[in-house]
A = this chain, B = another copy of it.
Amino acid sequence: MSDAPIIAVDANGADAGPAEVARGAALAAAAGVRVLLFGPIAELGSGAPGVELIDAPISIAKAPDPARAVRSTPEASVVQAWRAVQDGRAEALVSGGSTGAALAAGLFGIKRARGIHRPALAILVPVPGSPFLLLDAGANVEVRAEHLVQFAHMGAAFMETAMGLERPRVALLSNGEERDRGRPEVVAAHAELEGAGGELEFVGNVEGFAIGTAAADVIVADGFTGNVALKVMEGTSAALLGAVRGAAMSSLRARIGGALLRPALRGLRDEVDPEAQGGAVLLGLRSLGVVPHGSFGARGFARAIEVAARGVREDVTGRTLERLAAAGALRRPAPAEASDRLGSVPETDDARRGVPTGPGPSG
């Protein structure tokens, strides 16, 4: 067991409280992962084999400026957890708290991987039959073509390593399928990805319709468009399921029909259950960060910890850089530039997923 991956887990911030995260850590440890668990020790229970408890009661709440919150709260559990990764005591991070804080703390602590322009926030979208990775989902409101190109390789490397998918198909989100459709940076990225050669399975542009078809395993967008698309998806689902529920209450006949249909719909609900997927992922840092949804229970946290462990075992960071090097898409160092300038990563006021919604880190 000594070569089992070690994951630093921030137990603060989850809706169900640190004890639920601790239960998830115990489940993951039983499956062969070692966990350093940071949280208020009185609430973490008695521990479990493979889980080391570290008292870190301070939590960073959702804040308009998570970067500032991170800098001013070095004792916060998420900062301590990243520091464990930075110091080599752990190999990846999982946090059920604020995505903005996790990203800001990651940038501040372990920094961007060398050769990466900008880290991205990726979301595993649980669509029935065809889950996919959407990135960037909000970290970078404005991007250049080379950022989109890197996102494509970062997403592919993650799906390949941490999710075990062979030759993931990568697409650019645009307003038309033809290669000349889209914002200028999308058109330029398209041309570059087409020329990337055998390493990347680039399938071209997809439109919004692609949501829910199995058209691609990785869908790449700037953080503004990706964030809007993700939330439109959630809003549409909620509206539609609400309307179906309403229809099933509209008459006695409909109520009986709804009751008979319920078990089958429950199966569908399980399929779109985000806990089965693992939540959000921070890509492009020197180590992997996974941010399960704050509403997850023990099972969801265990799954997130296992995804992080798999990313470590399969060397997601190394694979990403190899891919970028092979495609000639690594960032060349600019001596005059501060190598890890931290932009503002403001916090979303929406508690549903914790996607940072403001201008992201600039690289």
Contact partner of A349 (CB less than 8 A), chosen from B176, B213, B225, is B176
Stretch of A40-48, A238-246, A302-310 that contacts chain B? A238-246
Contact partner of A248 (CB less than 8 A), chosen from B129, B211, B253, B264, is B264
Which residues of chain B have C-beta atoms less than 8 A from A261's C-beta?
247-248, 254, 257-258, 261
Instruction: Tell yes or no: A3 within 8 A of B by CB.
Output: no
A-B contact pairs, 13 of them (CB 8 A): A175-B228, A176-B349, A178-B346, A183-B224, A207-B231, A209-B350, A211-B232, A221-B228, A229-B229, A247-B268, A253-B263, A253-B264, A254-B263
- Contacts A176-B348, A183-B141 hold; do A128 and B239 have CB atoms under 8 A apart? yes
Question: Are A173 and B228 neighbours in the complex by a CB distance under 8 Å?
Answer: yes
Interface SS, A side? helix
Q: Mark A180-192, 1 if CB is under 8 A from B, else 0.
A: 1111100000000
Which residues of chain B have C-beta atoms less than 8 A from A257's C-beta?
256-262, 264
- Contacts A228-B208, A239-B213, A254-B260 hold; do A247 and B267 have CB atoms under 8 A apart? yes
Contact partner of A358 (CB less than 8 A), chosen from B180, B260, B265, is B180
Contact partner of A251 (CB less than 8 A), chosen from B178, B241, B264, is B264
Question: Are A235 and B260 neighbours in the complex by a CB distance under 8 Å?
Answer: no
- Residue positions of A touching B, CB distance < 8 A: 64, 127-129, 138, 141-142, 173-178, 180-184, 207-213, 221, 223-225, 227-244, 246-248, 250-251, 253-254, 256-265, 267-268, 271-272, 346, 348-350, 352, 357-358
A241 to B239, CA, bound (A): 12
Contact partner of A236 (CB less than 8 A), chosen from B177, B232, B259, is B232
Which residues of chain B have C-beta atoms less than 8 A from A233's C-beta?
208, 232, 236
Question: Are A253 and B244 neighbours in the complex by a CB distance under 8 Å?
Answer: no
Question: Are A138 and B175 neighbours in the complex by a CB distance under 8 Å?
Answer: yes
Most buried by B among A180, A210, A234, A247: A247
Which residues of chain B have C-beta atoms less than 8 A from A272's C-beta?
243
Question: Are B225 and A224 neighbours in the complex by a CB distance under 8 Å?
Answer: yes
A282 to B142, CA, bound (A): 29
Which residues of chain B have C-beta atoms less than 8 A from A248's C-beta?
261, 264
Question: Are B184 and A142 neighbours in the complex by a CB distance under 8 Å?
Answer: yes
Contact partner of A177 (CB less than 8 A), chosen from B183, B221, B349, is B349
Question: Are B240 and A237 neighbours in the complex by a CB distance under 8 Å?
Answer: yes
Which residues of chain B have C-beta atoms less than 8 A from A223's C-beta?
175
- List 12 additional contacts besides A208-B235, A257-B261, A257-B264; criterion CB under 8 Å: A174-B228, A177-B349, A208-B229, A208-B233, A209-B232, A209-B235, A228-B228, A232-B236, A240-B241, A243-B268, A257-B257, A261-B261
Residue of B nearest to A186 (CB): B224
Contact partner of A239 (CB less than 8 A), chosen from B211, B247, B260, is B211
Question: Are A346 and B254 neighbours in the complex by a CB distance under 8 Å?
Answer: no
Question: Are A247 and B265 neighbours in the complex by a CB distance under 8 Å?
Answer: yes
Contact partner of A254 (CB less than 8 A), chosen from B176, B224, B264, is B264
Most buried by B among A174, A181, A235, A258: A235
A260 to B261, CA, bound (A): 9
- Contacts A208-B229, A259-B257 hold; do A176 and B346 have CB atoms under 8 A apart? yes
